[in-house]
């Protein structure tokens, strides 16, 4: 039997194909060397960054994140972390577009509350509309509410990214049922963003049928970030393959032996 033909399985976002379904953040690392080493181990091609005021009077030789992660090698995805209304989020991403020479792929996140960092969905919808009208390709952090996710898709967002659990909590996927409803209805890629704690969480997200996973803290705050990045790469790949393979049906009350029942010696 000849080996089955290998069809490349890629993540398609806004018309561009990515071999990796793992997207990673660049925050909370010890230094840029560790950031880069972890990102290389993760295999991620899309990396998120935040936009912040430059430290005026800083050392002229102070290293810059984008020197470690050149936009020629990675798809830099600027975020709106820390924005609590649509106006600030849109303003931030317009600055990001200028900073990145006109690149328009962005991550929109409008937060509602400092304690939970839960998305502010009314403001997220307002910002998404304005950004899409201005030509941005918007990947959007959102609640795991199928109705809101659909509304964002209808506005023209290129990917919806519901939270698995609170940002930075590492609590894993708290509501797989809602994610399944979102996945069932969505026509754009669905990525789990926020809440992943360890490799099995990422695998579960992919087994559910998510198109990708975005994480930061799970890698950056592992005891060994580079090793965890490698684990996440494998988990996302394994989860994706398991989803494509199609899992066996669950049999809740009936065991089924794996060995033959014929030919036993007694």
Partner 1 sequence: MPVLQINGKPQQIPPNITVENLIATLHLEGKRFAIELNGEIVPKNRHAATALSEGDKLEVVIAVGGG
Give me the residues that bind partner 1 (CB under 8 A), please.
25-29, 35, 48-54, 56-60, 64-66, 76, 78-79, 81, 91, 94-96, 98-100, 167-168, 194, 214-217
Residues 6+ apart with CB under 8 A from 9: 240, 244
Name which of 151 and 199 has its Cβ closer to partner 1: 199
List phi, psi (to 5°) of 61. Answer: -100, 10
Instruction: Choose among 8, 23, 1: nearest CA to 189.
Output: 23
Which residues in 180-208 are b (16+ Cβ under 10 Å) and which e? ebbbeebebbbbbbbbbbebbbbbbbbbb
* Residue 217 CB, nearest approach to partner 1 (Å): 7
DSSP tag of 174: S
Strand, coil or helix: 145: coil
- What is d(CA 229, CA 58) in angstroms, rounded to the nearest whole number? 31
* Residue 154 CB, nearest approach to partner 1 (Å): 26
* Residue 88 CB, nearest approach to partner 1 (Å): 12
* Residue 23 CB, nearest approach to partner 1 (Å): 10
* 8 Å CB contact between 132 and 157: yes
| Catalytic site residue from 107, 150, 223, 233 | 107
Name which of 36 and 129 has its Cβ closer to partner 1: 36
* 8 Å CB contact between 166 and 194: yes
Name which of 99 and 226 has its Cβ closer to partner 1: 99
- What is d(CA 250, CA 227) in angstroms, rounded to the nearest whole number? 33
Name which of 91 and 150 has its Cβ closer to partner 1: 91
- The token pair that represents 185 in the structure block: 């209805």
Name which of 99 and 174 has its Cβ closer to partner 1: 99
* Residue 167 CB, nearest approach to partner 1 (Å): 7
221 is catalytic: no
- Please identify every residue annotated as catalytic: 107
């Amino acid at each position: 039997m000849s080996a089955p033909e290998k069809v490349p399985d890629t993540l398609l976002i806004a018309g561009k194909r990515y071999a990796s379904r793992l997207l990673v953040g660049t925050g909370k690392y010890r230094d840029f060397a560790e950031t880069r080493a972890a990102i290389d181990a993760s295999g991620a091609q899309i990396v998120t960054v935040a936009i912040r005021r430059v430290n005026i009077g800083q050392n002229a030789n102070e290293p810059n994140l984008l020197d470690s992660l050149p936009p020629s090698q990675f798809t830099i995805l600027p975020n709106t972390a820390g924005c609590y209304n649509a106006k600030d989020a849109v303003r931030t991403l317009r600055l990001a577009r200028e900073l990145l020479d006109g690149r328009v792929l962005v991550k929109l996140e409008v937060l509602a509350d400092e304690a939970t960092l839960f998305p502010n969905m009314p403001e997220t919808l307002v910002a998404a509309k304005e950004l899409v009208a201005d030509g941005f390709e918007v990947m959007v952090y959102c609640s795991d509410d199928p109705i809101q996710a659909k509304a964002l898709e209808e506005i023209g967002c290129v990917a919806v990214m519901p939270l698995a659990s609170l940002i930075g909590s590492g609590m894993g996927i708290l509501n797989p049922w809602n994610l399944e409803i979102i996945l069932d209805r969505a026509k754009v890629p669905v990525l789990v963003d926020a809440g992943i704690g360890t490799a099995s969480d990422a695998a579960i997200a992919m087994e559910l049928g998510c198109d990708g996973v975005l994480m930061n803290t799970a890698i950056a705050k592992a005891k060994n970030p580079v090793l965890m990045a490698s684990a996440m790469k494998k988990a996302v790949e394994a989860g994706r393959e398991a989803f494509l393979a199609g899992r066996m049906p669950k049999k809740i009350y009936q065991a089924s032996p794996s060995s033959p029942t014929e030919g036993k010696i007694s």
